[in-house]
């Protein structure tokens, strides 16, 4: 058996080639990969009408000139024809080898395509073109007689729809293509247009022509950053400029795309010009690599244009044959018999000689800096001239050449050039760059640090990430003064950067790239031991590949780690590498990683990593098991946000396994167990959904026990999400079912939930009694708790609610007893959730005892813990009590801010009773700040809502506060206050809320005593 990549001999059982590392199985499937490309779709307008009456041979002859012109235009600009349809074609730019200029190249090809077809002189042959940039799946399909490069995915359909919408000899482009080619290509925005197959109108642009602006000018126009760092590089250039006074100096600046080569040399050339140097420039373009002397033409025009004001014309000092050589390079008409007699090779030498003499003459009259940019794109004819220029022996000439590392020609060493390799910025200068781009807003401080880590201080990447955030509205304002409008999730990879990184990856041999993909799937860092296990490469091949990737700075050896480890220079390289794999390849890679990690005894406890790889490998049984395991660990340490994420992974994975009764019971139990995580993180709506879905499934398999458990979950969620009437009705039903079922654990939880529902409804004595039943069982010898919690955890929240209820009833001694138990459990477990719960009831107890300062201290600590650990369900209730503690200390502004925040969080969580409580307390704060009208409006709204929805206790509190706030301005106002207090007293008496009753009676007495 032979390797399909290098044709080396392989044994029958080999999985990988020992020479190049290629997979032995790659011939079995197309070598598929995901590519970010620009797709060109073109066809002949109304081709059916043109050939309807023709014989097949005649139809072919009629359309072939147009197809030939299309093919030629695509190939001229580096595209590859993927498919021909008889009257048109599909082409891809940026594949099979990536090219970061794929969008401008595709646009140039489209312009040339239309020009060539129009130039055929056949008015019946008209074309239309569609362009779109996006991800495709690309692969080579080989048969016995041919190879076809296939592309697939939604991106090609948009290109086809744009082509269909275009008029004769028009080119339509998508917004993605326009953004990538803007500056190099001119566009006209046509607005959003409906396209077949797309639900919403799509932004459409018409290509109107190519821009004559240089690539540097395009980049300069887009730049929003200041020039920073590069002090050592500028010093080297300065030394070379000074040394040029004695003899010509040539400096090669190399660096990967985005390092800032052009910015550095243009900043430096500008300095030289201010000192009296003459600057001449040439730019090598990817669009013109196939055009002879394209780069040289730019240089000659720069020299002759700069000299136009200085007479005589520099060309006049040259012999006639050299003047003709320059005219030939510039495509000017020539009338010179001597030139006509020259052979092609002699003409080439004459052009090179003429160019050298022209530059020598310039340098003899004035210090001259010659800037040649992007030499990696130089056309072949110009390359020979550039080699000659770089080796000139003349004073006062400085030649600066920029190039990517892989674009250095062979003649570099022959011209005694200095080399300067640009590295990423120093982190402090990246920060300065970001300060200039984003501005001083405190909202972007953390984002700046994330961008620096994400981009590894590559200037272009930093700038483009910021641009992406501004264009999508994540950052708002003007450059230099931007603020974060909404939270930032993944930083992502701008499309303008995608191709830049992909170019580097596509230069790799297949074996090295496969190793990169494994490393990308493993994460930012990979140990050599894991890479060895997963890749299963011969040791020599593995070490060779790692060494090559390290030298290329794509996967670098990590320092200061005990185990030999490799890491990506920044996450963008990892993400582009990962994105290059098609889904099938990813699944296989993750499956191998999962197997390797499971076989490593030291990593078996890394359930989160195992869960990630099992999910990506679509091993749903393992994804369920590992996801649940991670979720349970997260709940144990009160990391509820992470717990909910992994419970969701586990639920989704389980639902993808084959249907069976056993699966359904697991699914019900999982949702019941997940309630703690969703509750703790404040995701009340999802918590309610869990109970409803578990109940539905339990009904479907006729499992009464699990139905009761699911209803208990739903009932508890309704205490936060619904009205008291609904919550109490459901709670009473669940307690009755739980008593009949005979499961004490679920009965305890049901009683706790019903007691909480009674409390929210203002039925405080019933709440105290119901929760007391649960406390008694939980403190007994046969204590039991349901799945997802423990006896001690459930006892803690029961004691918390008992303390709150007794405080509300005015039974402070009883409240203190249960608070001590709650605090003791919290101290022993040291779980953040437990400590926050104990702080809530403890702070409320201190308020009941009339010690707001002590209350504020306890609640401040509880709030900080809740925020730090994401115990979001407690944030609004603690903030309510905390705000009241501040208010009773006279700290009105702080109280007002805290209570407004509590109300906002309660609304986002869906915690109805706390929205009302925060509104009541906020009304008091507003009144004490002098905003009586706003306070009364808020209190009356809260009172009416509480009455309408059945929050009896909160209605009484709102009435009391309304009476306190209402000014006694006349008899009607006094009567209104008295009515409020009388109603409050009636409600407080019925609810046994003794502290509130006493305060209301005292206020009523004062009002009555002062008519």
Give the three-state DSSP class for 299.
helix
pLDDT of residue 63: 79
| The pair of three-digit structure tokens given for residue 514, joined into one six-digit string | 């496969």
What is the rounded CA–CA span in Å between residue 807 and residue 840?
Answer: 12
Give yes or no for a contact between 109 and 79, defined as CB atoms under 8 angstroms apart.
yes
pLDDT of residue 515: 94
pLDDT of residue 395: 93
The torsion angle over the Cα atoms of residues 749, 755, 759 and 763, rounded to 10 degrees, is 170
Give yes or no for a contact between 420 and 233, defined as CB atoms under 8 angstroms apart.
yes
Q: Which residues contact 272 (CB under 8 A, 6 or more apart)?
A: 241, 279, 367, 369, 398
Q: Which residue has the tokens 């020039």?
A: 227
pLDDT of residue 197: 84
Q: Indicate the DSSP class of residue 835.
A: H
Read off the pLDDT of residues 527-547 as tens digits, 9 standing for 90 and up.
999 999 999 889 999 999 999
Q: Which residues contact 665 (CB under 8 A, 6 or more apart)?
A: 701, 703, 706
What is the rounded CA–CA span in Å between residue 585 and residue 587?
Answer: 5
Selection from 841, 805, 802 nearest residue 823 by Cα:
841
| CA quadruple 613, 618, 624, 628: dihedral sign | positive
Query: Cα 243 to the chain's mean position, in Å?
Result: 48
pLDDT of residue 242: 93
Q: Which residues contact 376 (CB under 8 A, 6 or more apart)?
A: 284, 403, 404, 406, 407, 408
Helical (H) or strand (E) element with 419: strand 418-421
Distances (CA, A) of 470 to 387, 444, 464, 488: 43, 12, 10, 12
pLDDT of residue 25: 42
What is the rounded CA–CA span in Å between residue 497 and residue 909?
Answer: 38
| The pair of three-digit structure tokens given for residue 911, joined into one six-digit string | 């915690």
pLDDT averaged per 10 residues in sequence order, the chain, 1011 residues: 50 50 43 87 78 62 84 92 85 88 94 94 89 86 57 85 94 94 92 90 94 78 80 92 91 89 91 92 85 89 69 78 90 88 90 91 90 90 90 91 84 85 88 90 87 88 88 89 86 85 87 92 91 90 93 87 87 91 91 89 80 95 95 91 95 95 95 92 90 94 91 88 86 90 89 93 95 94 89 95 96 96 95 94 95 96 92 92 95 94 88 92 94 94 93 94 90 90 94 94 88 66
Helical (H) or strand (E) element with 506: helix 495-506
From the number of C-beta atoms within 10 Å of its C-beta (0-12, 13-18, 19+), residue 291 rates as middle
pLDDT of residue 4: 47
Query: Cα 355 to the chain's mean position, in Å?
Result: 50
The torsion angle over the Cα atoms of residues 805, 808, 812 and 816, rounded to 10 degrees, is 40
| CA quadruple 617, 621, 626, 632: dihedral sign | positive
What is the rounded CA–CA span in Å between residue 875 and residue 898?
Answer: 11
Give yes or no for a contact between 575 and 455, defined as CB atoms under 8 angstroms apart.
no
Alpha helices in 439-494 (DSSP H): 445-455, 459-471
Give yes or no for a contact between 317 and 311, defined as CB atoms under 8 angstroms apart.
no
Q: Which residues contact 620 (CB under 8 A, 6 or more apart)?
A: 614, 653, 654, 656, 657
């Amino acid at each position: 058996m032979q390797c399909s990549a290098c044709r080396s001999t392989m044994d029958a059982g080999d999985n990988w080639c020992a020479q190049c590392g290629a997979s032995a199985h790659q011939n079995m499937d197309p070598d598929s990969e995901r590519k970010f490309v620009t797709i060109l779709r073109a066809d002949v307008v109304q081709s059916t009408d043109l050939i309807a009456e023709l014989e097949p041979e005649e139809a072919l002859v009629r359309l072939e000139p147009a197809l030939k012109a299309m093919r030629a235009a695509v190939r001229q600009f580096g595209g590859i024809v993927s498919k021909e349809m008889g009257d048109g074609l599909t082409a891809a730019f940026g594949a099979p080898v990536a090219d970061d200029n794929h969008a401008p190249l595709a646009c140039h090809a489209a312009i040339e395509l239309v020009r060539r077809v129009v130039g055929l002189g056949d008015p019946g042959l008209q074309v239309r073109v569609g362009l779109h940039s996006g991800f495709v799946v690309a692969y080579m399909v080989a048969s016995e007689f041919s190879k076809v490069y296939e592309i697939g995915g939604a991106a090609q359909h948009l290109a086809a729809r744009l082509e269909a919408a275009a008029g004769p000899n028009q080119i339509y482009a998508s917004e993605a293509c326009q953004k990538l080619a803007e500056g190099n290509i001119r566009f006209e925005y046509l607005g959003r247009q409906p396209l077949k197959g797309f639900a919403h109108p799509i932004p459409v642009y018409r290509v109107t022509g190519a821009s004559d602006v240089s690539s540097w000018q395009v980049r300069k126009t887009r730049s929003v950053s200041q020039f920073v760092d590069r002090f050592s590089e500028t010093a080297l250039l300065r030394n070379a400029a000074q040394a040029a006074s004695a003899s010509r100096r040539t400096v090669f600046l190399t660096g990967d795309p985005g390092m800032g080569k052009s910015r550095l040399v243009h900043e430096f050339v500008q300095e030289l010009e201010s000192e009296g140097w003459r600057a001449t420039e040439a730019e090598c373009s990817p669009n013109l690599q196939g055009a002879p002397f394209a780069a040289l033409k730019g240089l000659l025009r720069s020299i002759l244009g700069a000299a136009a004001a200085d007479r005589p014309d520099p060309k006049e000092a040259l012999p006639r044959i050299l003047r003709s050589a320059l005219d030939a390079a510039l495509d000017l008409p020539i009338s010179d018999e001597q030139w006509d007699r020259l052979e092609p090779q002699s003409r080439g030498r004459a052009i090179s000689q003429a160019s050298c003499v022209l530059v020598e003459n310039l340098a003899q009259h004035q210090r001259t800096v010659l800037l040649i940019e992007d030499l990696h794109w130089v056309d072949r004819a110009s390359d020979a001239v550039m080699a000659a220029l770089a080796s000139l022996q003349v004073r006062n000439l400085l030649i600066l050449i920029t190039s990517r590392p892989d674009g250095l020609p062979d003649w570099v060493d022959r011209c005694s050039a200095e080399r300067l390799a640009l590295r990423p910025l120093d982190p402090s200068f990246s920060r300065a760059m970001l300060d200039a781009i984003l501005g001083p807003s405190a909202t972007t401080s953390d984002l700046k640090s994330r961008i620096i880590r994400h981009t590894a201080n590559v200037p272009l990447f930093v700038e483009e990430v910021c641009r992406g955030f501004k264009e999508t509205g994540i950052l708002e304002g003007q450059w230099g003064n931007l603020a974060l409008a909404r939270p930032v999730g993944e930083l992502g990879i701008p499309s303008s950067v995608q191709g830049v990184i992909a170019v580097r990856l596509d230069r790799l041999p297949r074996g090295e790239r496969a190793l990169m993909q494994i490393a990308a799937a493993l994460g930012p860092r990979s140990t050599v031991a894991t890479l060895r296990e997963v890749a299963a490469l011969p040791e020599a091949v593995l070490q060779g590949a790692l060494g090559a990737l390290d030298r290329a700075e794509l996967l670098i050896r990590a320092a200061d780690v005990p185990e030999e480890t490799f890491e990506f220079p920044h996450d963008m390289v990892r993400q582009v590498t990962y994105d290059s794999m098609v889904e099938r390849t990813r699944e296989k890679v993750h499956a191998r990683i999962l197997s390797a990690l499971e076989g490593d005894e030291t990593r078996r406890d890394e359930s989160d990593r195992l869960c990630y790889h099992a999910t990506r490998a679509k091993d749903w049984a393992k994804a369920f098991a590992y996801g649940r395991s991670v979720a349970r660990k997260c709940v144990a340490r009160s990391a509820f946000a992470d717990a909910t994420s992994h419970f969701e992974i586990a639920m989704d994975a389980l639902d993808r396994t084959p249907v069976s009764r056993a699966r359904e019971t697991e699914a019900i139990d999982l949702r019941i167990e997940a309630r703690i995580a969703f509750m703790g993180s404040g995701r009340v709506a999802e918590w309610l959904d869990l109970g409803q879905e578990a109940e539905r499934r339990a009904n479907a398999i006729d499992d009464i026990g699990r139905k009761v458990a699911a209803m208990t979950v739903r009932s508890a969620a309704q205490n936060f999400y619904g009205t008291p009437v609904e919550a109490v009705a459901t709670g009473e039903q669940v307690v009755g079912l739980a008593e009949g079922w005979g499961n004490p654990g679920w009965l305890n939880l049901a009683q706790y939930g019903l007691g909480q529902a009674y409390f929210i409804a203002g039925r405080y004595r019933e709440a105290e009694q119901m929760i007391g039943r649960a406390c008694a069982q939980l403190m007994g010898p046969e204590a039991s708790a349901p799945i997802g919690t423990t006896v001690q955890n459930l006892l803690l929240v029961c004691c918390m609610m008992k303390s709150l209820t007794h405080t509300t009833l005015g039974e402070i001694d009883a409240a203190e007893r249960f608070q001590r138990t709650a605090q003791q459990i919290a101290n022993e477990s040291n779980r953040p959730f437990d400590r926050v719960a104990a702080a809530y009831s403890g702070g409320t107890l201190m308020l009941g005892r009339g010690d707001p300062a002590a209350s504020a201290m306890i609640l401040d600590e509880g709030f900080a813990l809740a925020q730090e650990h994401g115990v979001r369900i407690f944030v609004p209730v603690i903030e309510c009590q905390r705000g009241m503690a501040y208010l009773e200390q006279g700290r009105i502004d702080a109280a007002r801010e805290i209570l407004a925040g509590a109300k906002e969080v309660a609304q986002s969580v869906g915690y109805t009773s706390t929205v009302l409580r925060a509104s009541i307390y906020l009304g008091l704060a507003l009144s004490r700040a002098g905003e009586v009208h706003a306070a009364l409006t808020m209190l009356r709204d809260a009172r009416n809502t509480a009455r309408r929805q059945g929050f009896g206790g909160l209605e009484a509190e709102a009435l009391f506060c309304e009476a306190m706030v209402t000014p006694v301005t006349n008899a009607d106002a006094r009567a209104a206050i008295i009515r409020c207090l009388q109603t409050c007293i009636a409600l407080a008496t019925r609810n046994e809320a003794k502290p509130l009753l006493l305060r209301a009676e005292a206020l009523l007495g004062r009002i009555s005593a002062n008519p």
